[in-house]
Amino acid sequence: MTELHFSDVQRDCLQELVNVAMGQASDKLARYLGTFVHLQVPSIALVEATLLSQHFANRYQQQSATLVSLGFFGDQGLRGETIMLYQLANAGVIARLLGYSDDAVSEAEMLTDISSVLTTTFLSGLAEQLENSFSYAAPRILSSRDQYFADKLAYTAEQWQLALQVDIRYQLTDYSFNCDMILLIPGEAVLRLRQTLDNILAEF
């Protein structure tokens, strides 16, 4: 596991890139949604994938949560999967945010829509920062209305060596909701990511 760890400099560099990508995403989303979007500077943490499920099980205790997964693939072997976690209570807020009201839309569709908007907007910014570009798989709901989502998360996380945990809080002028995003990155892609970070650091 040790060879997958990041040095402090690498970690700071990644945090900075995430900040920039998040800032761009926030700007784009505000324009698109026609409301002021504030994305707090996210705190990132690199955690072993096996520890993730317990962390989120505690945070979403006693609440029905939904997990939406979206895979991404870049050049030079950089790839991974994002998982968005929502409280189901937020579904109504999300619906208003996306302007769903004029036609019948399932909750599942609403959640996959908002997930793909939020994650791809952020990820395409991040890809740009990493001088890469991503293609995306369609979002999938891993679990919904399920108190035992921690098991599902544990099962998904098992397949990945390292998880970049990005806590995002979305605040909008008229609406407020928060959700969590987790970036799961497999071992060999972590090595690629580190190499890219070293290249960026060398340019300064």
Partner 1 sequence: MQLDWLLQPLLTQLNTGVLVLDAQYRVVFFNQFIARRAELDLAKVQGNLLEDVFADLPIAWLKRKLDSVLHLQVPAFSSWEQRQYIIKLAHLRPLSSDSQYMAQNCSMLPLTAPDGVSRYICLLIEDATDAYVYQQQLQQSVMQLEHANRTDGLTGVYNRRYWQQQLGYEIQRAGRYQHPLSLLLFDLDKFKDINDQYGHQGGDFVLVELSRLIGSLLRDTDLFGRYGGEEFGVILPDTGMTGALQVANRICDTVARHKMLYNQQTLKATISIGVVSYFDQSIDELIRRADTALYCAKRQGRNRAVVYQPELEGYLKKVK
Compare residues 9 and 108 and give the one whose CB is closer to partner 1. 108
Q: Which stretch binds partner 1 (CB under 8 A): 4-12, 59-67, 117-125, 157-165?
A: 117-125
29 touches partner 1 by CB under 8 A: yes
113 touches partner 1 by CB under 8 A: yes
Compare residues 48 and 113 and give the one whose CB is closer to partner 1. 113
Q: Which DSSP letter does residue 103 get?
A: S
- How many whole angstroms separate alpha carbon 67 and alpha carbon 88? 10
- How many whole angstroms separate alpha carbon 104 and alpha carbon 131? 40
138 touches partner 1 by CB under 8 A: yes
> What distance, in Å, lies between the first and last C-alpha atoms of the chain?
29
Query: Which tokens hold the place of 145?
Result: 């209305």
Compare residues 32 and 36 and give the one whose CB is closer to partner 1. 32
Compare residues 31 and 59 and give the one whose CB is closer to partner 1. 31
Compare residues 29 and 197 and give the one whose CB is closer to partner 1. 29
Q: Per-residue contact track with partner 1, 40 to 79, x per CB under 8 A? A: ----------------------------------------
CA distance to 34, 82, 102, 144, 180, per residue, from 164 (Å)? 30, 9, 37, 23, 12
E strand residue ranges, 132-185 = 135-136, 140-146, 162-172, 176-185
Q: Per-residue contact track with partner 1, 74 to 103, x per CB under 8 A? A: ------------------------xxx-xx
146 touches partner 1 by CB under 8 A: no
For residue 204, give the amino acid letter. Answer: F
108 touches partner 1 by CB under 8 A: yes
Among 112, 143, 156, 196, binds partner 1 (CB under 8 A): 112
32 touches partner 1 by CB under 8 A: yes
- How many whole angstroms separate alpha carbon 57 and alpha carbon 147? 9
- How many whole angstroms separate alpha carbon 184 and alpha carbon 156? 9
Region of 157 please: left (phi>0), alpha (psi -120 to 50) or beta: alpha
Residue recorded with tokens 């890219």: 196
Residues lying near partner 1 in the complex (CB under 8 A): 28-29, 31-32, 98-100, 102-103, 105-106, 108-109, 112-113, 116-117, 120-121, 124, 136, 138-140
